[in-house]
Amino acid sequence: MSEKRTEISEFGEFGLIDHLNEKVQIKNSSTLKGIGDDAAVIDAGDHVKVVTTDLLLEGVHFDLAYAPLPHVGFKAVAVNISDIAAMNAIPKQITVSIALSNRFSVEAVDAIYSGINAACEHYGVDLVGGDTTASRGGLIISITAIGEAKKEQVTYRSGAKVNDILCVTGDLGGALVGLQVLEREKQVFLANPDMKPDLEKYAIVSGRQLKPDARMDIIHEFRELGVVPTSMMDISDGLASEIFHISKASGVGATIYEDKLPIDKQTYDTAVELGIDPITCVLNGGEDYELLFTIDQKDFPKLEKHPDVHFIGHITKAEEGKFLVTKSGTAVQVKAQGWQHF
């Protein structure tokens, strides 16, 4: 009799991570945090190092039919820097590992690295190493980012407390809507190569998908304002999904309010044009790379007038669950339906 086969899709990305983590044993006291947050945390004496790795695969995370190579390089760095930001740390170095098929020329590699180098300049990080190898498929980029922070500044997913205020930066849903526009224009081009993509009126949403920007500006402002969030993570898999992660890690519930959710006018209008519910885009659209965080109520006055921080709800007891209060006042249970990797 053959052994039982379990499909990875039955676990999902985070179920698979939990499954693998069960077999991992931490042996070094310098490992303060291993698997289970946006980055690992390593003791470095009077401060800590935070380390994260993300892998981007052609055909899964980006499509070169509409993603320029420099943008791919920039995005590969930005998504890692976003994880460093989510730990309330400052990025310092990255390594880059890249796998290339023989359809890529030296000029193409230069274009990718022009984006990587632009991101290094933008975030103030050093490219200190990596690896290059051949690929039998398409382009694969793996980046490891290293950051640092004082021990008392590091923010985990697990610190949210009942009555903390739930906040997000920027606006949400744009990356998902941008992806839908890019995919639509790709299909139009494939059907008629003489048709030119109509992207000018969608510049904001397509930009959110093609070249996201990690919110390091907010982390530097936290330092200036003396704010240390009680919990935080970046929004890569959708707001609802990230609320579930913070709730699980912190052992709490959450209530958010529809009329407090930030959405850009172009995102809203384009979602309506595409026949997609804008609030669904906000809740379940991934790759916005904004920050979701909680603050103690005493810190509210420090951020109250910040133009790019939105107070969307509050933390509740775990048994109260996770709810969205609609504009009509109805409380509906939040479901995490963001990006599924498997």
CATH number, domain containing residue 236 = 3.90.650.10
- Considering the domain architecture, whether residues 122 and 164 belong to the same structural domain is answered as no
Q: Which residues pair with 168 in a beta bridge?
A: 292, 310
- Considering the domain architecture, whether residues 69 and 47 belong to the same structural domain is answered as yes
Taking the C-alpha atoms of residue 151 and residue 58, their distance in angstroms, rounded to an integer, is: 37
- Asked if residue 322 lies in contact with residue 334, where contact means CB atoms within 8 angstroms, the answer is yes
Q: Which helix (H) or strand (E) holds 284?
A: helix 278-284
Q: Which of 36, 57, 202 is nearest to 140 (CA)?
A: 57
62 DSSP 8-state letter: B
- Going by C-beta distance under 8 Å and a sequence separation of 6 or more, which residues neighbour residue 181? 199, 202, 205, 206, 270, 274
Neighbouring C-alpha atoms within 13 Å toward the C-beta of 74: 21
Segments forming the whole domain that contains residue 148? 8-152
- Considering the domain architecture, whether residues 265 and 287 belong to the same structural domain is answered as yes
Average pLDDT of the segment spanning 80-101: 98
The distance of Cα 304 from the centroid of its chain, to the nearest Å, equals 24
Taking the C-alpha atoms of residue 123 and residue 139, their distance in angstroms, rounded to an integer, is: 24
Assign 196 a pLDDT band (cuts: 50, 70, 90).
confident
- Considering the domain architecture, whether residues 161 and 146 belong to the same structural domain is answered as no
Q: Can you tell me which residue has the tokens 């240390």?
A: 228
**Is 157 within any annotated ligand binding site?**
yes
* pLDDT computed for residue 5 by the predictor: 87
Task: Choose one of 126, 152, 178: the last residue of a domain.
Answer: 152
* pLDDT computed for residue 337 by the predictor: 67
pTM recorded for the entire structure: 0.93
Taking the C-alpha atoms of residue 339 and residue 127, their distance in angstroms, rounded to an integer, is: 29
Taking the C-alpha atoms of residue 98 and residue 142, their distance in angstroms, rounded to an integer, is: 6
Could you tell me if residue 187 is inside a domain?
Answer: yes
The distance of Cα 204 from the centroid of its chain, to the nearest Å, equals 18
Average pLDDT of the segment spanning 184-212: 91
Could you tell me if residue 76 is inside a domain?
Answer: yes
**Is 208 within any annotated ligand binding site?**
no
Task: Tell me the CATH number at 22.
Answer: 3.30.1330.10
Assign 14 a pLDDT band (cuts: 50, 70, 90).
low
Q: Which tokens sit at 78?
A: 């930005």
- Going by C-beta distance under 8 Å and a sequence separation of 6 or more, which residues neighbour residue 60? none
**Is 339 within any annotated ligand binding site?**
yes
**Is 113 within any annotated ligand binding site?**
yes
Taking the C-alpha atoms of residue 87 and residue 51, their distance in angstroms, rounded to an integer, is: 10
- Considering the domain architecture, whether residues 164 and 296 belong to the same structural domain is answered as yes
Could you tell me if residue 342 is inside a domain?
Answer: no
- Considering the domain architecture, whether residues 261 and 138 belong to the same structural domain is answered as no
Give whole-number Cα distances, 253 to 92, 168, 247, 272, in Å.
34, 17, 6, 31
pLDDT at 342 over 50: no
Average pLDDT of the segment spanning 321-340: 87
Please spell the DSSP secondary structure of 240-266, one letter per residue: HHHHHHHHHHHTEEEEEEGGG----HH
Number of independent structural domains in the chain: 2
**Is 54 within any annotated ligand binding site?**
yes
Q: What's the whole-number average pLDDT of the chain? A: 94
* pLDDT computed for residue 71 by the predictor: 98
- Considering the domain architecture, whether residues 49 and 107 belong to the same structural domain is answered as yes
- Considering the domain architecture, whether residues 173 and 138 belong to the same structural domain is answered as no
Q: Can you tell me which residue has the tokens 């949210």?
A: 160
Average pLDDT of the segment spanning 297-324: 98
Could you tell me if residue 59 is inside a domain?
Answer: yes
- Considering the domain architecture, whether residues 175 and 265 belong to the same structural domain is answered as yes
For 144-162, what is each residue's pLDDT tens digit? 999 999 999 999 999 999 9
**Is 131 within any annotated ligand binding site?**
yes
pLDDT at 102 over 60: yes
Could you tell me if residue 146 is inside a domain?
Answer: yes
Could you tell me if residue 57 is inside a domain?
Answer: yes
pLDDT at 259 over 60: yes
- Considering the domain architecture, whether residues 214 and 254 belong to the same structural domain is answered as yes
- Considering the domain architecture, whether residues 137 and 182 belong to the same structural domain is answered as no
- Considering the domain architecture, whether residues 205 and 310 belong to the same structural domain is answered as yes
* pLDDT computed for residue 1 by the predictor: 45
**Is 245 within any annotated ligand binding site?**
no
Task: Choose one of 152, 187, 208: the last residue of a domain.
Answer: 152
**Is 9 within any annotated ligand binding site?**
no
Give whole-number Cα distances, 218 to 51, 90, 93, in Å.
19, 11, 19
Instruction: Say how many Å lie between the first and final Cα of the chain, rounded.
Output: 27
Could you tell me if residue 26 is inside a domain?
Answer: yes
* pLDDT computed for residue 2 by the predictor: 55
Task: Choose one of 128, 152, 176: the last residue of a domain.
Answer: 152
Q: Which residue has the higher pLDDT, 19 or 259?
A: 259
**Is 215 within any annotated ligand binding site?**
no
73 DSSP 8-state letter: H
Q: Can you tell me which residue has the tokens 């790709």?
A: 186
**Is 194 within any annotated ligand binding site?**
no
Could you tell me if residue 3 is inside a domain?
Answer: no
**Is 53 within any annotated ligand binding site?**
yes
